[in-house]
Structure formats: structure tokens, C-alpha cells
Amino acid sequence: MIYLIIFGFFVVFGYVGFSKLYTKPKVAPFPKEWRALLKEKVKFYRSLNPIKRNKFRKRVMKFLAETNVESVGFEMEDLDILLVAASAVIPTLNFPSWRYRNLDTVLVYPDAFDSELEFSKSQKDRNIGGMVGSGRLKNHMILSRKSLRLGFSNKTSKGNTGVHEFVHLIDGEDGSIDGTPDILLTENYSKPWISLMHKEMKKINAGSSDIRKYAATSEAEFFAVASVYFFKRPRLFRKKHPELYKILKACFSPIVEKEKKAA
């Protein structure tokens, strides 16, 4: 009898503890006043049909329920919070159950910062707009508010700091940020991707590619830079880099690809 009571105790309280550990956070409804803001500021959102827009808004709120977004040294506006969430959702919209398991908090700094995470105006070497944290900042992302906003306001550029850093997180889901995300690249595309990536990096170094030079610094940066180009300027990217476009399309739109094969 005593054993049964003890067993029951562990079953009940173990279940409660388990439930708390895995309970999904409550997702708030999308604020009405954010709709116009999202449509005005996020071009990617404007390109979506009504069904996808509704899905995007829900995913924004899901991300905000799962992730802390905090400002450092200034008071954040709704736009800043919205752009952080949009940056997270853009590359994962076609993954219904996606959750950034390697992220707890996004810290937003007022401006660019240095390698010591200092953003004082007296610093001359403040040239970092965003980074994925490590060590004591593991599961953290740091973004510059100025860079975050510029990535969405500059319509002609091929860069977006927010999306860039979230692509790094996606790349790191397999344990290594190396430009070849196992979670996205199927066996059919893995080798072709590596081959195309190295070929394009050589072109960048030779000055014969329109992909940003930063992409040639490493495979990880190439994947992030090319992915941002894919999301921000899809038509131009498809025209200039059809083979890269095809692989990234398969990576970030797996549902669409499966539907095409089934048709």
C-alpha cells in the first residue's frame, strides 16, 4: 500500500512537472494596430496572399510568446519588436511547427557595437550590426536597432541584418553554423549546394558576382547572405543565380516542393 502511494505521488507530481516543462506558451492575438505597421514596413509580408498573411501574423505572435525581446540602453517601440519577430518568421514561414530551440532572448542595442558588445558613441570600431551569442550569451541574439530597421527600410539592398542572424540560427540547428544546414538540405541537394557555394565564393573574390562580398568570408556567411538575397530580392536572385535559387527554394519551401512532386 505504501509503495502504491509513493508510486502515485511520483506519477501525479511527475506528470505535473512534465506538463509544466512542455506546456506551450499562451499566444496572444495579433494587435490590430500592428497590421498597418507590418504591411507598411515589411515588403515580404506585402507579397503574401491573405491566407499566408494571416499565417505570418500568427507566427509573429507565436515567436513573441516563446522568445524574450529586450532593449539595452533605450526604450523600444512596437516597430522594433515587430521587426525582430518578422525577421524570425520570414525564413521559417513554411515550417508549421518551427521553434527556435537555440534561442531564449533577443537583445536589441540602439546602434552598432564592437566585439566587447560596447555601443558607446566614443567607440570608433563599432561595426557589428548583429550576432548570435555564445558562451555566457548562449541562446541569445544581439541586434542593432539601426541595422534592424535599415534592413527593412532599404528596399534596393540585398541585406537584412535581422533575417541574416536568424538564418544563422537555422543553420546551427544541427549543432554547427557551417553553411550546410542538415535540417534544410536533403541528400539530393547537399553536394550540389556545397559545390555551387564554393564556385560562387570564388566569383565573389574575383569581383564577378553581385552577391555581397561578406559572403566569401566563410561558408556560414555565404549561406546567410545568399538566403537574405533570396528572401529580399527573389526575382533578381532567380535571374542572376538560378541554380542557387532552386536549392534555396527547396530548402525554405519544402511543403511547396512536395506539393509540386505530388501533382
Q: What is the pLDDT of residues 107-162, one digit of tens each?
A: 999 887 776 666 666 556 667 778 888 888 899 999 999 999 999 999 899 999 99
pLDDT, residue 116, reads 65
Q: pLDDT for 173-231, tens place per residue?
A: 999 999 999 999 988 899 999 999 999 999 999 999 999 999 999 999 999 999 999 99
Going from the C-alpha of 152 to that of each of 58, 90, 244, the distances in angstroms are: 20, 12, 23
Residue 258, all three cell numbers:
512536395
pLDDT, residue 155, reads 86
With 60 as the cut, is the pLDDT of residue 165 above it? yes
With 90 as the cut, is the pLDDT of residue 247 above it? yes
- Mean pLDDT throughout 70-85? 95
pLDDT, residue 215, reads 98
- Could you tell me if residue 207 is left (phi over 0), alpha (psi between -120 and 50 degrees) or otherwise beta? left
pLDDT, residue 254, reads 72
| Span of 79-83, 183-187, 239-243 with lowest mean pLDDT | 183-187
pLDDT, residue 117, reads 67
Give the pairing of strands 140-144 and 105-109: parallel
Q: Give the predicted TM-score (pTM) of the model.
A: 0.85
- Hey, is 241 helix, strand or coil? coil
With 70 as the cut, is the pLDDT of residue 73 above it? yes
**Cβ 220 vs Cβ 179: under 8 Å:** yes
List of domains in the chain: 28-153 (1.10.472.150), 178-256 (no CATH)
Q: pLDDT for 6-50, tens place per residue?
A: 334 333 434 334 333 446 678 999 999 999 999 999 999 999 999
pLDDT, residue 122, reads 59
pLDDT, residue 14, reads 42
Q: How far apart are CA 109 and CA 117, in angstroms?
A: 9
Say how many C-beta atoms besides its own lie within 10 A of residue 174's C-beta.
14
Residue 4 CB-density burial (10 A; 0-12 exposed, 13-18 middle, 19+ buried): exposed
Query: Which residues are CB-neighbours of 130 under 8 A, at least 6 positions away?
Result: 141, 142, 143, 144, 147, 148, 161, 162, 164, 165
| Span of 24-33, 77-86, 252-261 with lowest mean pLDDT | 252-261
Residue 6, all three cell numbers:
509513493
